[in-house]
Amino acid sequence: MAIAEPLAPRRDDLAEIGARPAYDGEGMTALAAWVDEVARLTRPDRVHWVSGSSEENAALTAQMVADGTLIPLDPEKRPNSYLTRSHPGDVARLESRTYICSEREEDAGPTNNWAAPDDMRATIRPLFEGSMRGRTMYVVPFSMGKVGGPLSQLGVQLTDSPYAVVSIEIMTRVGDDVTRLIADGAPWVRTVHSVGAPLEPGQADAAWPCNDEKYIVHFPDDLEVWSFGSGYGGNAILAKKCYALRIASVLGRDQGWMAEHMLLIRVIDPQGRAYHVAAAFPSACGKTNLAMLRPTIPGWRVETLGDDITWIRPGADGRFHAINPEAGFFGVAPGTGASTNVTAVETLWGNVLFTNVALTDDGDVWWEGLTDDPPAHLVDWQGEDWTPDAGRPAAHPNSRFTVSAAQAPSIAADWEEAVPLDAILFGGRRATNVPLVVEALDWEHGVFLGSTISSERTAAAEGVVGELRRDPFAMMPFCGYNMADYFGHWLAMGRRAPQLPRVFQVNWFRKGADGRFLWPGFGENSRVIDWIIRRLQGEAEAVPSPIGLLPLVADLDLDGIDVPQADLDELFAVDPASWLAEADLTEKFYDTFGDRVPAELRAQLDALRERLQTAEA
């Protein structure tokens, strides 16, 4: 095995790519030693140091086309775009196989899978032994946030998946500039990924190699991630949820900042005044739609800064400042269409890597929700013929698109820069109880609201208080340490800046007794954003309620939409009895963390009950 041998090229003019960069410094020595150590364990045929050049990317793409991993789409309809189909058993993040291996189990908390670090290393090491045999190990240096940015963080992923490499190149900033910073001594996080499918001499490779046994393992005390057996993006693009949330949340706790599962937007009012809003929504709660919102109110504009992850730090000006650390969108395709999110559709004009969507007869892609009517014939995500009467989806429900954020028509010109944060929104999918919008009484109350975010678990259970899927701060699957300590970190952050963002809770999904949505949603959500911004400006009133501050309906801009008064009344109705029952559920949820729940949040729960009991009397 040649540790610095280049990738076997598909073009003669790329014969020299892939050699280790000739940088000096202690950082480079440590990086090279780690690469050699992992190579000795995994035994790849070659090691390729990724430079991030366009020529290199073209060679990787050509290799995957030749291997059958990528299907080129019609260059006129979707230029420089490709479709890949995963193994049917490798289509999503695997929360059941995701571990937080802190030294102490209580530091991982009850919402994470835990294993002792030494035990887990003893479990996964035999799996990684020889796991890259017959393959190339790629060394991928990446930056979360612009290279050299004041809020940015660095990492390196070792992987035997060229699909992961090209995905990381879309989702992060990859290349020699990052390696040079590491060589000069910048700190970095170690991540290792293998599809777990070694090749014997002469053995043909699968178009989508993976392993039946899968592990996604985080060692927060060592700032390492090891992922085995899966080629799917959420398990293979380790810079994303694994680093940017689970490991970064630990870094933020220790260093005084926050890594959050939040979109980030700039809202510009008709007078040209700009405000920055971060929002944490669990899946299926309108996160991407808000990130690319097209306001229906004349004069308002929304610019996209990020659609999924936000890092927040206190600034010298006494305010929180935020960045989107990613460089791309890894979005769910089904449900994305011209009627729901035209901005996302326009973003996908070209330079897209599609995973598990359907292929049209003319070389384009399709998924449920892209158009109102499906084509008469498709090749589905498993490569089988499909017609509208097939009785199965054409695209996998978790099919994805990976595309540069810079392509979004709504992207802000300065989207890679840190922005001062004016407001934070929390939301869930609630058919009952939670109003369209409520403002927190203060930061501590806002943390309480974030800690109680939940959605009805299933459509059958909608309207039944008690059957809720808890997802506090939309971080339940992504917090790298005990979530009760995470609540405490939010409270502590509130003491680190004198000018804090205002906190709001929103709910686009409240229903009437007949099961009908009471609010039109989508672009009309700009009317709620309008009220929030006018609250920040001191130009809109609010009325106290037991759960927080509610709008005066007269202060909502409802021109041009028809929402009956009865629906408006229901959208803001607060039923004390139902809320007292919900308070009991919150207490039960808090009790799963034992005595680690901050006393401030227990006090907030007591105060809520007292206000509800007063209102009920």
Q: Is 146 annotated as a binding residue?
A: no
Length of the chain: 617
Residue 285 appears among annotated catalytic residues = yes
Q: Is 308 annotated as a binding residue?
A: yes
Q: Is 396 annotated as a binding residue?
A: no
Q: Which helix (H) or strand (E) holds 542?
A: strand 542-545
DSSP secondary structure, 340-361, as one string: T-HHHHHHTTSS-EEES-EEET
Q: Is 429 annotated as a binding residue?
A: yes
The residues pairing with 311 across neighbouring beta strands, listed in sequence order, are 259, 323
Alpha helix locations (H) across 259-416? 287-291, 342-347
| Maximum C-alpha span of the chain | 82
Cβ pair 81, 352 in contact under 8 A: yes
The interaxial angle of helices 599-616 and 576-591, nearest 10 deg, is 160
| Residues ≥6 apart with Cβ < 8 Å to 281 | 263, 287, 290, 425, 426, 427, 428, 474
Alpha helix locations (H) across 545-594? 565-571, 576-591
Q: Is 516 annotated as a binding residue?
A: no
Please report where in the chains the tokens 């405490």 appear, as a residue: 488
Q: Can you tell me whether residue 89 is helix, strand or coil?
A: coil
Tell me the one-letter amino acid at 561.
Answer: I
What values do phi and psi take at 125, rounded to 5? -60, -45
Q: Is 614 annotated as a binding residue?
A: no
Q: Is 37 annotated as a binding residue?
A: no
Given 210, 242, 285, 479, the catalytic residue: 285
Q: Is 384 annotated as a binding residue?
A: no
For residues 514, 430, 440, 502, the Cα torsion angle rounded to the nearest 10 degrees is: -110
| Strand boundaries in 7-72, DSSP class E | 46-49, 71-72
Cβ pair 218, 225 in contact under 8 A: yes
Round to whole Å and give the CA distance between 525 and 519.
Answer: 9
Cβ pair 526, 293 in contact under 8 A: yes
Q: Is 242 annotated as a binding residue?
A: no
Q: Is 288 annotated as a binding residue?
A: yes
Burial 555-594 (b: 16+ CB within 10 A, else e): ebbeeeeebeeebbebbbebbbeebbebbebbeebbeebe
Q: Is 525 annotated as a binding residue?
A: yes
Round to whole Å and give the CA distance between 171 and 236.
Answer: 12
Calculate the CA 152 to chain-centre distance.
17
Q: Which of 348, 416, 360, 423 is nearest to 386 (CA)?
A: 360
Residue numbers belonging to the annotated binding site: 93, 232-234, 241, 261, 283-289, 308, 398-400, 429, 522-525
Write out the binding residues for GTP: 284-289, 400, 429, 522-525
Binding residues for Mn(2+): 241, 261, 308
Which residues are catalytically annotated?
285
